[in-house]
Structure 1
Amino acid sequence: MDRRQLRAARRADASGSGPTLEEREPARYPGAKGAFALFGEVLLTGLLITVGGLLVVTLPAALAAGIRHLRRYVNAEQSHTRDFWADWRKALPGGVVVGLAATVIAVVLALDIVLANTGALPGGALIGVIGWAGLVVGAVALLAAAGAWTPETGWRPAVRGIPAVIAGDPLGAVYFAVAAVLTGVVTWMLAPLIIAGLGCSALAVVAIPARRTRR
């Protein structure tokens, strides 16, 4: 093996994209070995999701495309920006329906919270708590559905499978809720941070279910 071939072999070994030079178990996520590179990809994904979800009703399609983009990246598969937009276009028809339903539910819950805070409703504190809990549950359901969406199966099985996803991994659903709440908090603190929040939420959907197979 000459020096050029050796350098190429070392690069493939380091990235996890090729044969290893030493006998060892291959990396679980070969594309995510560089923390800084992964962070940059998460921010890029968050930006793509933000742009793709600007109309609000297009957010589910943008989330589904972003999750698939990051999943390809951490697996060291080809993952270009054009692949994100290709997935976004495929997810858009059914995703708009999901987005409309989610928007209506979110608006109703938000109005309940606002009314509860005015003190005009009896039991306003309880209604406010229920409203916030409903928003969190809706966010978890949206993340679960977006993570399950594929171009081959579409949105209907993804939405129908939400209860099974939550029941199959309750702790994972809690992690989803934490990711959703953190996204909301950082966005409330500074609006541009929604880019990082959405990117981290997409990464959570990729990473959290996979933790079960490590045991």
Structure 2
Amino acid sequence: MEGFSDCLLTGLLVALASVPVVTAAPAFAAGCRALDRARHGIGRPLWTTFWADFRQAVRGGAAFGLLGLFAAVLFAVDLAVVGAMPGAGVLRPALWVLAAAVAVVAVRTCEVVATGEPAWRRAVVTAVRETAAAPGSAVLLAGAAGLAVVLVWMLPILALLVAGPLALAAVATGGQR
């Protein structure tokens, strides 16, 4: 039962730290780190270790968060443009698959920062390598992210909690460094 409460508390802490949208990636990385520590029984209490990890991750992670925000806006624009094109039936699913791959790499990057690589640029390279090397775990992580999106779509208040289980999925499917 302790793991479930840690997951929900982490989701709330990530949501709180993500209020300035640019800090969403460092907040998620701190959530991954806090859940990784809680899973191994080190670093109690969770909320104090979360804030210490968040302060450390926000140094380079704010730029990564800004880039993620830019990518989301670009995806929305591309989706609108593709909808007006003649080949929308083929292009729209391809765009969604590309967006899912980018989302998996972004989540994996936060997990890599949380579990070993403090530099965000090197973490992106490591995340791409791990995603390509283990497509099974990438599919599991994509499924977890997709489920998180569906849950928030069905019940928007779950946006306050869903980052915790997603962070746990990222840590559980992460590579061994």
Of structures 1 and 2, the larger Rg is shown by 1
Deviation at 1:152, TM superposition (A): 6.5
2:144 & 2:103 partners in 1: Cα distance? 9
Equivalent residues, number: 174
Distance 2:149 2:38 in 1: 25
**Runs of 4+, deviation exceeding 6 Å:** none
The residue number in structure 1 matching 2:66 is 100
| Equivalent-residue separation in structure 2 for 1:107 and 1:187 (angstroms) | 19
| C-alpha distance in 2 between matches for 1:152 and 1:161 | 9
- Corresponding residue for residue 126 of structure 1: 90
Higher relative contact order (CA 8 A, sep 6+): 2
* Structure 2 Cα separation of the partners of residues 190 and 87 of structure 1: 29
The SS at the match of 2:44 is coil
Deviations 1:129-168 (A, max 9, x none): 1232222112101111111115863212211212211122
RMSD: 1.8
Q: CA deviation at 1:70?
A: 0.4
| Amino acid of the structure 1 residue aligned with 2:102 | G
Q: What is the match of residue 202 of structure 1?
A: 167
**Structure-2 separation of matches of 1:141 and 1:64:** 13
Stretch of structure 1 that moved more, 138-147 or 105-114: 105-114
SS at match of 1:161: helix
Return the offset for 1:112. Answer: 2.0
Post-superposition shift, 1:126?
2.3
Q: Comparing both structures, which one devotes a greater share of its residues to helix?
A: 2
Instruction: Give the distance between the partners of 2:95 and 2:79, measured in 1 at CA.
Output: 6
* Contact 1:91-1:154 at 8 Å conserved across structures: no
C-alpha contact 1:50 1:198 (8 A) present in aligned 2:
yes
TM-score of the pair, normalised by structure 2: 0.90
% same residue: 35
Q: 2 CA distance for matches of 1:128 and 1:74?
A: 39
Structure 2 runs not aligned, ≥5 long: none
How do 1:1-215 residues align onto structure 2 when only pairs under 5 Å count? 36-80=1-45, 81-117=47-83, 120-150=84-114, 153-209=118-174
Contact 1:112/1:128 (<8 A) preserved = no
